[in-house]
Structure 1
Amino acid sequence: MTTSNYAAERETTEGKVFTVTGGDWDEVVSGTDPINDERIVVNMGPQHPSTHGVLRLVLELEGETVREARSVVGYLHTGIEKNLEYRNWVQGSTFVTRMDYLSPLFNETAYALAVEKLLGITDDITERANTIRVLMMELNRISSHLVWLATTAMELGAINMMLYGFREREYVLDIFETITGLRMNHAYVRPGGVAQDVPDDAIRKIRDFLQLMPKRLKEYENLLSGQPIWLERTQNVAVLDVTGCMALGVTGPVLRSAGLAWDLRKTMPYCGYETYEFDVPTHTDGDVWGRYLVRVAEIRESLKLVEQALDRLKPGPVMVSDKKIAWPAQLAIGVDGMGNSLEHVAKIMGQSMESLIHHFKLVTEGFRVPPGQVYVAVESPRGELGVHAVSDGGTRPYRVHYREPSFVNLQALPAMAEGGLIADVIAGGASLDPVMGGCDR
């Protein structure tokens, strides 16, 4: 038996017990204080309550105090970015929408803006399409913040808030279904515009929601803001100041709760956000309480943006005029809603050889994008959501990589948790609002 195996098997010689590294176990034990220096390593998660799905936290504890924390990600990896390389540019929308599944419309818009920048058609996007994009993103921001409010309150013991938050979110998802046909994963925002126009029925539902939501927000605040346990679990908990946020690349409500009013809708506007009136809520404490106040205030600002978008929703096209890019949004649908209209089929099959060739190429290949690379970012509910898209001149992306705020923000968890109580790990992690579908894309 070799020396290493001898040590590994902890064979005894002359009354001594050796560790796996060959050291004397008695000397190791005698050098520790079993009462004051007792530390244990535990796994927190992956489980849905507390660690938000498939996030695993490895914690080194001394009593109830966290001495070291480490985030372990990757359990939900879907390979979406790699899959994009094997689909055409339009099909990419159906993939990216599934990453951060609580804010799919932001995933789609960021991707569409990147493709449009590569195509050089950013200024050709119609006013109605941009207005619809703003309208849908702000509704999506509200629904995402409602999920955060519901789940975080549930994890800290306010079970009733779970019911209320999801109740209002259902209203938003009903609006999405009316407009896109789906509650989630819409593939609605596409390069060149949006897939289809907003029906009148959806406008009425949005108007009703604008009347309802301010009253419900007041109910949330009455339930939580003055509640002693809520205050105890959020104030001065998981503090991360603006210096720490900047050092770790943290963006979104977490950064704004530390006092920095950095919001891409203001600092680097897109989709016409520079023409809207809204404020960027901030706080100064940089704790869970501040992040709660910022997100509630952001819901109110999003309601203002939705109302402005509705008021400026003028009639007009929702796609660029270039038919090569506008497909498939401008295909005519049959009366049964189950395919192309007979008139459209007759035109491309019998009246125009060019239309037939063009239709066949679009169905099989999609449009070509000039070679180049771009980076485009939008302000998602979790922070800066960026897209680095690379084209080699073909009909498929050469590379698409997302700068996902959930992934970046999670590296702040050790800084927020170490030195605090294990119970505060739950509050701190929840306050980051991580969505693991985006983190593990």
Structure 2
Amino acid sequence: MPDATTHSDLLLTSVPNKYRPEQLKSHEMVINLGPQHPSTHGVLRLEVVCDGEIIVDVVPHLGYLHRCFEKHAEALAFNQIIPYVDRMDYLAAMNSEHAYAMAVEKMLGIEKQLPPRIEYIRVLVAELNRLASHFVAIGTYGVDMGAFTAFLWMMRDREHIQRLLEWVSGARMLYNYIWIGGLFYDLPVGFEEQCREFINYLKPKLTEIDNLLINNKIFVHRTANVGVLPLQVGINYGASGPVLRGSGLRFDLRKVDGYSVYPELDFDVPVGTGQMGTLGDSWDRTYVRACECKESVKIIEQCLDRLQGDHKRTRDFDPQAFVPKKIRPQAMDFYARAENPRGELGFFFRTDGRADAPVRCKVRAPSFVNLSLLSAISSGAMLADLVAIIGSLDFMMGEVDR
């Protein structure tokens, strides 16, 4: 007769835990960080294996903010999916909408038909949202490091952007503004002037943040040489966005793929230089985000120039003129991507040529990919530096757990 199995034995065998008690060395221990801890963004549990104060391994456990986006999308028509796109990366909903709308438009072959004014408005609101997203990333990262003033300043300026986007769309966070083939509505009267006034106000504030946080001696000591991501490791893991550019690779889909009207705009792609420590460390990733804020300001100014110049408002302009009444693509497998504030956001669709909904929808979420390299850049670090490494990746858990 086989030996009786205890309840604890069943738990150990049923839970896919890489580190069970019998597999740990005598001087190692397992610590659960999160999911309730603020430094884990509220919905991430990390299983940290430590040898004293040194991290041996980090195993992320997902499943605390399940959006079920992909299965929702397979039950909805293409034009009904946009509100669900908003809820993945809810700090950069405009950027996600832009990526999704362009993906479907390319699949339908109508991306060349859109009026330039629509394209410039899309880029304008997307770059405003990129600014707001980076403000949250930099501000909350300051809180992780114990610097509260930077967070207050970032939230103060982000509030101006939220009010502008609310003025455009009617919502503060989940916009449903960029539609397939157009926009929900044209910019409100006076929006361009007020947006330019805000940009003129913001420029000196970005320099203040550099002095307050990015170049602060204490902040540099907490982030330089911490969580170093070698470029080849980042490429092998499929990292993108500021996480990859922080390691020195000038890879930005706005330049590489040249979608929308980005090829017509003048802006740079900041990369890490290792000037405060080792190339690809936590400071470099934060530095890249701060520099991208300045580049977004340049893009917004150029969009405003065109929207107030050659592509200004006309009485007969209809932002919904090219919105298809029925979306029924041919049978195909299709993938399209765009640069959101956290990296490459891609959408894969499989269609059968009969339904107006995708047979299969899959999202390539940059936060999910960037989070996967946490163990690679944390092993050998001090336990106290783990929060600094987590914050430097700037992942959004609604996008991770789709």
TM-score by length of 1: 0.82
Amino acid corresponding to residue 158 of structure 1 in structure 2 = A
Contact 1:81 1:401 in 2 (8 A): yes
Match of 2:336 among 373, 376, 384: 376
The 5 Å alignment of 1:337-376 reads 366-376=326-336
Q: Tell me the residue number matched to 1:246.
A: 235
Secondary structure in structure 2 of the residue aligned to 1:183: coil
Query: 1:322 offset after TM fit, Å?
Result: 4.6
Amino acid corresponding to residue 114 of structure 1 in structure 2 = A
Query: 1:415 offset after TM fit, Å?
Result: 0.9
- Which of structure 1's runs of 4+ aligned residues deviate more than 4 A? none
Query: 1:109 offset after TM fit, Å?
Result: 1.2
The 5 Å alignment of 1:185-204 reads 185-204=174-193
Amino acid corresponding to residue 58 of structure 1 in structure 2 = E
CA distance, structure 2, for counterparts of residue 267 and residue 209 of structure 1? 30
Contact 1:386 1:403 in 2 (8 A): yes
**Alignment partner of 1:392 is 2:352:** yes
CA distance, structure 1, for counterparts of residue 266 and residue 37 of structure 2? 38
Contact 1:153 1:159 in 2 (8 A): yes
**Alignment partner of 1:319 is 2:319:** yes
Secondary structure in structure 2 of the residue aligned to 1:86: coil
Match of 2:365 among 404, 419, 423: 404
Amino acid corresponding to residue 149 of structure 1 in structure 2 = I
RMSD, aligned CA? 2.1
Q: Tell me the residue number matched to 1:228.
A: 217
Post-superposition Cα deviations, 1:107-166, rounded to whole Å, max 9, x if no partner, equal 111111121112111111111111111101111110000000111000110011111111
Amino acid corresponding to residue 165 of structure 1 in structure 2 = M
Secondary structure in structure 2 of the residue aligned to 1:100: coil
**Alignment partner of 1:275 is 2:264:** yes
Contact 1:126 1:320 in 2 (8 A): no
Instruction: List runs of 5+ in structure 2 lacking aligned partners.
Output: 14-20, 274-278
Q: Tell me the residue number matched to 1:308.
A: 302
Contact 2:114 2:322 in 1 (8 A): no
The 5 Å alignment of 1:23-102 reads 37-102=26-91
Q: Tell me the residue number matched to 2:276.
A: none
Contact 1:125 1:320 in 2 (8 A): no
Contact 2:266 2:299 in 1 (8 A): yes
CA distance, structure 1, for counterparts of residue 85 and residue 285 of structure 2? 27
Match of 1:428 among 384, 389, 396: 389
CA distance, structure 2, for counterparts of residue 387 and residue 319 of structure 1? 24
Q: Tell me the residue number matched to 1:286.
A: 280
Amino acid corresponding to residue 378 of structure 1 in structure 2 = A
Post-superposition Cα deviations, 1:327-350, rounded to whole Å, max 9, x if no partner, equal 5xxxxxxxxxxxxxxxxxxxxxxx
CA distance, structure 2, for counterparts of residue 63 and residue 78 of structure 1? 37
Contact 1:126 1:318 in 2 (8 A): no
**Alignment partner of 1:298 is 2:299:** no
Q: Tell me the residue number matched to 2:251.
A: 262
Amino acid corresponding to residue 35 of structure 2 in structure 1 = P
Secondary structure in structure 2 of the residue aligned to 1:122: coil
Contact 2:182 2:321 in 1 (8 A): no
How high is the sequence identity, in percent, across the aligned residues?
40
Query: 1:370 offset after TM fit, Å?
Result: 2.8
Aligned length: 378
Contact 1:129 1:318 in 2 (8 A): no
TM-score by length of 2: 0.89
**Alignment partner of 1:120 is 2:109:** yes
Instruction: List runs of 5+ in structure 1 lacking aligned partners.
Output: 10-19, 21-27, 328-365
Change (3 A) 1:322 1:236: closer
Q: Tell me the residue number matched to 2:16.
A: none
Amino acid corresponding to residue 105 of structure 1 in structure 2 = M
